[in-house]
Structure 1
Amino acid sequence: MKNIIIGTAGHVDHGKTALIKALTGIETDRIKEEKKRGITIELGFAYLDLPDGEKAGIIDVPGHEKFVKNMLAGAGGIDLALLVIAADEGFMPQTREHLGILSLLNIPEGIIVITKKDMVDEDWLEVVCDDIRNEVKGTFLENAQMIPVSSYTGEGIEELKQAIFQLIDQKTQIKNLDVPFRIPIDRIFSVEGFGTVITGTLIEGKMKVGDPVTIYPSRIESRIRNLQVHSHDVEEAYAGQRVAVNLAGLKKSDLNKGDVVAVPDSMHTTMMIDIKLTILKDCEREILNATRLHLYHGARDVLCKVVLLDRDSISAGESCYAQLRLEEEIAVKTGDRFVLRFYSPLETIGGGVILDSNPFKHKRNDPQVLESLNIKENGSDKEKISAALKDYSSRFETLSFLQVQTAIPKEQFDQQIQKLIKDKTAFRINDNVVIHSDYLSHLKDTAVKMLTAYHEENPLRDGMKRDEFRSKFLKYEDMAVVDKITDSLVNRKVLKIVNGCVALYDFEAQTDNNQELIEKAFQEGGFAPESPDQIAARFPKIKNFKAVLDSLVSSGKLIRVEDKILLHIDYYNKALEMAKESIEKNGQITLAEMRDLMGTSRKFAVAVLEYWDRRNITKKVGDARVLK
């Protein structure tokens, strides 16, 4: 199915609206001021019946320079442009600007329509045609058909219709429906008994009555109550159609022209975009770095600052990579086209394509940034996904985020991810998270550096406690992700786990003759050992007493049940075994019973029981403990 949007463009009063009426019988000027002044101000809409029974939507855009913003709002979804030029005036300033805009938006096909043929003689018409051919050289209309018509006498209208039908049949591509739908809003109004209605061009995907939607950038949620295409109710609408959407539960004030209606979670909002910028060949301005501009995307107009990433200025006909830093949040996708106009006075200076819809803030003249943008512009799907993984691995972004970010269809995206994992360019953390192997190597180097320093400071310890390692190695809220990376480094024989500690694979804790001496002192203390300070006082010649003590705790030979109470592992296990036997027999154990079993004072029994409570081994119920 081919769903086509035809758009007009051209100078004010060159007969665009009259041409559409001659083609369709529909008057597109609908508001009082338009009829009074005889010019188009807002977007107008009509449709053309095609030979196969389908209808092509037609957008009538304003030609006056004051309403270029409204023209841009309608130009984004055009598949076929009719560049309208009056025979009695020829190429005019707004004709040139509109042609530049159509070129920047990458409109694929077009026809040059010379109107008001009845107002000039053949010699003049021939001169105008030659002039137009010179003006469109180097543009997408260089080899386009040029058809003179009179909207008033009807001369040439049928020939124009046939040319449109032929172009649609031969060249215009079928839209991709297998992506989430998206509609930039160009009109908002209320209908009594129905509520809020928006109109726009469905630029991708398909939508049906009942579908949930999200309004971007506000992220307000709604659902489709009703759909209309060409003023007829439909159950489903397709990319390439002009659509009116009745949104449930929303007020007119909830929406703004330029908002985007889309599938929930199918878009990201952003305050920055990376772009390939092209300046129009006839632009008379030199655009300096940090110049303030107007960004036009869909029906949205946002102020921004352009950061030129590899130069200080850009002039007519030149292209470069740049970053736009926006003054308002917008929702865009990689691959979208846009137009830029100068801040003041308002004049179109250029535009281009979005290479990254949610980038990091870049430093200028960074070779890595420029290389990455070159891949995003010219690379294969696999290379683009690899570049996105490099950018976002440190955030552990989900695959769904990356798929939206790259704007590669999901099936193709999933296939390329599998290839990247297979050739070890990427590493799978879990079903939702994949990171680039370069980042995994970076994490390996980080772990090695951190543990090398730790082992030098703590040669007697088996390694860093796993909880401490988690918090220092990678500050990320999902511990399962950190553990997965740690386990990967263990499998690769970079790290090892010893007694609940993380160590370098080839590290061996040093032995110290004093270890056995201190361990024996705690072991002799049984269930009531001396405090570390008391034992340290007994061995004044041991200068590294704390390091030795820490190594015994790290290795699990001593259990620190309280700051100043450490039990030898043999007595700790014996106490735990006695407590479990007593609870299994009596259903619980009291402090007094624990004290008697250990044959020690209340202080040690309290320390052990509270330690078990903190470890969720026991739970206090009244004055007794039960096993948890």
Structure 2
Amino acid sequence: MRSVIIGTAGHIDHGKTALIKALTGVDTDRLKEEKERGITTDLGFAGFVLPDGTRAGLIDVPGHEKFVGSMITGAGGLDLALLVIAADEGVMPQTREHRAILEELGITRGILVVNKCDLADRRQLDLIKGEIRREFRGTCFEKAPLAEVSALTGQGIPQLLEMIQKAAARIPEKEEKGAAWLPVDRVFTVRGFGTVVTGTLLSGQIRRGQEVTLYPSGLTCRVRGLQVYGEETEISRAGLRTAVNLADVEREQVRRGQVLTDTAGLNCGGPLDVKIHHSGYCSRPITNRMRMHLSLGTARILCRVLLLDRDALLPGESCFGQLLPEEPAASRPGERFILRYYSPVETVGGGLILNTGAVRRKRFCQRELKELERLEQNGAEGEARAREKNLERERLQSLTEFLKKYQETYPYRQGAPKSEILSRFFGDRKPGEGGKWLETWMEEGQIVCRENQVWLPGFSPKEDAAWRRVKETLKERAREAGLNFPRYQDVKNGLKEVPSKTADEIFQILLRRGKLVRLEEDCFTLPEILEGAVETLRPLLEREGKITIIQARDLLGTGRRGIRLLFGYTDSRKITKKSGGESVREANHDLF
């Protein structure tokens, strides 16, 4: 099922919460203060299904200027914005500020929603619509569809739903292959379950039972349970509103602003290389080393802004710079951020993170600026992927060469032990990554990985004179011995012309291929001998439900040693099980 995350934006009291209730039937004002004052002070959430089956999550953000920080927290990760404007007031200060924030966060898909149309006549509506189009000329909302609605009466709501559905159909699917990345926007406890965090999963997947880490604290924990839009699930994918129940984590150890991820060793300290943009919403410049409020994901912290090629950034300008957070912050290349003046608190612009955990750069240094320009053009994330791709290619090439030499050195072995491959080639990666790469290469046809062994496609153990000699000797001795099962070491000692290690490797291949069966006490036999013995015992087991060593000995005409080894085999295959002493076996009724 496709899914999208939709968020409201707009001035206080323009009807954002009422609009969500009209669309979903859910009242997102959950706090006592919100109910009493009639305004939204924190984030609210609701889920619903569009007519075409697309699952939508709706985030309600505050409109009051005091709560713009919460609005920024909620806006991160949106696929589509509903910019709500009241028909009786038109464009207001927070309308403009929210529009600037959406643009800085890279949210370019939107619908202009003129709400409270029941309070205006046709002439007023036309004037308001004209004002809106003029206001947003030259912005990402210039050509956005415009809906006329009344959340109170329901006017225009079906048409708005149709617009949302059309916009949602054009939103590309999220990337599920990368690292899981969930900025935490809510934390609470549930009696009997413990700590729960919620957020929008921006990339990757999270599974029940998976080990994850909270950054910047570095706290590692296990996913006890998952919910997506209120429903229990085993896995959550990118683009879904997700609630994660964390095992053995106290409520006080988690807060809004942290990031839940499966990435190990994330560097949350040091400068951030960035491209900064002054939105022009305010006329004041950004000056070098200015102390500012930084909104990053769901975190809000203070930072210093370093401008690397100028002393002041004017409205409408962009430049390379560095952010020096005053406390550790989880971030990754390609992530967008918002900057607000320290005092008075106003949104001034934002930008894009090019690199994390960087070193302090020299100002007005052409070499530094060219490096940042290259990062911007290629994308630090793209560079990281390219490096990973090269490492993957080199690792596969090294593995292929290793397997070729291994097969030359051990021509009678099916493959190299998987444990050795993981240790040799993936010892530097976190647990589980090596196995995933082996699965990928196997799907691509680069290697074969079965029964904890790895080999190259097309390879099969050498079947020469030594192979034939060992195979025929072992099978012949097994046939001759019947239920007086021979010991492998005794037979091998008679193969004077074949090296001991070669005989061992050929014996292992015959066992793996099912040509021989290994028993206890270093004995072996042919599968058909065991099958014949079991068929002989079957009528008695079916009739009486158990059998003794003496009964089996009389039926099969062999000694106690052979019956004891046969019982060891039938126990291991769950055909029989011990009953009391060693001399009695019960039938497994599931098989009889």
Bin of the TM-score, shorter chain as denominator length: 0.5 to 0.7
- Secondary structure of 2:350's counterpart equals strand
Q: What is the CA–CA distance in structure 1 between the aligned matches of 2:387 and 2:157, rounded to whole Å?
A: 40
Residues in 1 aligned to 2:391 and 2:343: alpha-carbon distance in whole angstroms: 42
1:51 aligns with 51
Q: Which residue identity lines up with residue 209 of structure 1 in the other structure? A: R
| Inter-CA distance 77–320: structure 2 relative to 1 (3 Å threshold) | same
Q: CA deviation at 1:415?
A: 5.2
Task: Give, in angstroms, the shift of residue 48 of structure 1.
Answer: 2.3
Deviation at 1:269, TM superposition (A): 1.2
What are the residue-to-residue correspondences of 1:443-454 with 2, within 5 Å? Answer: none
User: Taking structure 1 as reference, are residues 412 and 229 closer, same or farther at Cα in structure 2, changes over 3 Å only?
Assistant: farther
CA distance in 1, matches of 2:79, 2:293: 24
Q: How do residues 247-396 of structure 1 correspond to structure 2 at under 5 angstroms?
A: 247-265=246-264, 267-379=266-378, 385=383
Counterpart-to-counterpart distance in 2, 1:433 and 1:314:
47
CA offset digits 1:106-125 (Å, max 9, x no partner): 01311000000000111111
Q: Deviations over 1:263-304 (max 9, x none)?
A: 041632123101100001232101111100011011101111
Is the partner of 1:268 in helix, strand or coil? coil
User: CA 1:290–1:200 in structure 2 vs 1: closer, same or farther (change >3 Å)?
Assistant: same
Q: Which amino acid aligns with 1:337?
A: R
Structure 1 length as normaliser, TM-score?
Answer: 0.62
2:34 aligned partner, one-letter code = E
Is 1:69 the counterpart of 2:69? The answer is yes
Partner of 1:99: 99
Equivalent residue, structure 1, for 2:438: none
Does structure 2 retain, via aligned residues, the 8 Å contact 1:201–1:243?
yes
Q: 1:235 to 1:308 in 2, by over 3 A?
A: same
Instruction: Report the CA distance shift for 1:118/1:362 in structure 2 as closer, same or farther (over 3 A).
Output: same
Q: Compared with structure 1, are the counterparts of its residues 380 and 351 closer, same or farther at alpha carbon in structure 2 (3 Å cutoff)? A: closer
Name the residue aligned to 1:124. 124
SS in 1 for 2:270: strand
- Distance (Å, rounded) in 2 between the aligned partners of 1:364 and 1:380: 21
- Closer/same/farther in 2, CA of residues 380 and 64 from structure 1, 3 Å limit: closer
Q: Secondary structure at the match of 2:143?
A: coil
Distance 1:173 1:409, change over 3 A: farther
Equivalent AA in structure 2 for residue 163 of structure 1 = M
> Which secondary structure does the structure 1 equivalent of 2:268 belong to?
strand
The answer to whether the 8 A contact 2:113-2:146 is kept is yes
User: Quick check: 408-417 or 35-44, which moved more?
Assistant: 408-417
Structure 2 stretches lacking a partner, 5+ long: 398-423, 429-592
Summarize the Cα distance change of 1:314–1:433 in structure 2 as closer, same or farther, 3 Å threshold: farther
Aligned-partner SS, 2:168: helix
Q: Counterpart of 1:95 in structure 2: which amino acid?
A: T
**Residue 431 of structure 1: CA displacement?**
6.5
**Distance in 2, Cα, partners of 1:186 & 1:67:** 14
Q: Deviations over 1:88-144 (max 9, x none)?
A: 101000000000000000013110000000001111111111111111112111110
The percentage of aligned residue pairs carrying the same residue is: 47
Give the partner amino acid of 2:273.
D
2:141 and 2:372 mapped to 1: Cα distance? 29
1-side partners of 2:171 and 2:217: how far apart?
34
1:5 partner letter:
I
Distance 1:149 1:408, change over 3 A: farther
Distance 1:381 1:341, change over 3 A: closer
Q: CA deviation at 1:418?
A: 9.8
For the 8 Å contact 1:306–1:325, the answer to whether it is kept is yes
Q: CA deviation at 1:3?
A: 2.2
Please give the alpha-carbon distance, in whole angstroms, between the structure 1 residues aligned to 2:211 and 2:126. Answer: 55
Paired residue secondary structure (2:19): helix
Amino acid at match of 2:9: A
Letter in 1 for 2:339: L
Per-residue CA distance 1:145-174 (angstroms, 9 max, x = gap): 0111001111110000001001111x2111
Residue identity in the other structure for 2:212: V
Residues 175-190 of structure 1: pairs in structure 2 closer than 5 A: 175-190=174-189
Kept in 2, the 8 Å contact 1:267–1:333? The answer is no
Instruction: State the distance in 1 between where 2:427 and 2:295 align.
Output: 34
Residues 210-266 of structure 1 show CA distances to partners (whole Å, capped at 9, x for unaligned) of: 010001001011011010111111111111111111000000001121011100416
Which whole-Å CA distance do the structure 1 matches of 2:157 and 2:216 have between them? 42
Return closer, same or farther for 1:256/1:271 CA change in 2, 3 Å cut-off. Answer: farther
**Residues 571-620 of structure 1: CA deviation (Å, up to 9, x unaligned):** xxxxxxxxxxxxxxxxxxxxxxxxxxxxxxxxxxxxxxxxxxxxxxxxxx
Q: Give per-residue Cα distances to partners, 1:190-220, cap 9 Å, x unaligned.
A: 1100000011111111111001000100101
Report what 2:554 is aligned to: none
Amino acid at match of 2:33: E
Unaligned runs of 5+ in 1: 386-405, 420-429, 435-628
- Identify if the C-alpha distance between structure 1 residues 316 and 37 changes in structure 2 by more than 3 Å, giving closer, same or farther: same
The answer on whether the counterparts of 2:334 and 2:380 sit within 8 Å (CA) in structure 1 is no
* Post-superposition CA distance 1:378-417 (Å, at most 9, x none): 13789x64xxxxxxxxxxxxxxxxxxxx366955874599
C-alpha contact (below 8 Å) 2:227/2:233 kept by paired residues: yes
- What is the letter of the counterpart of residue 300 of structure 2? D
The DSSP-based 3-state class of the residue aligned with 1:332 is: coil
TM-score (norm 2): 0.65
Whether contact under 8 Å (2:180, 2:263) holds in the other structure is no
Q: Is the 8 A contact 2:284 2:315 kept in 1?
A: yes
Is 1:232 the counterpart of 2:231? The answer is: yes
Note closer, same or farther for the CA distance 1:219–1:19 as it changes in structure 2 (3 Å cut). Answer: same
Q: CA RMSD in A?
A: 2.2
- The alpha-carbon distance between structure 1 residues 59 and 408, as it changes in their structure 2 partners (threshold 3 A), is farther
Q: Which letter maps to 2:337?
A: F
Distance 1:204 1:86 in 2: 35
Give CA deviations for 1:424-471 in whole Å, capped at 9, x if unaligned.
xxxxxx97899xxxxxxxxxxxxxxxxxxxxxxxxxxxxxxxxxxxxx
Give the letter for the 1:206 counterpart: Q
Contact 1:311–1:365, Cα closer than 8 Å, also in 2: yes
2: CA distance between counterparts of 1:279 and 1:418? 46
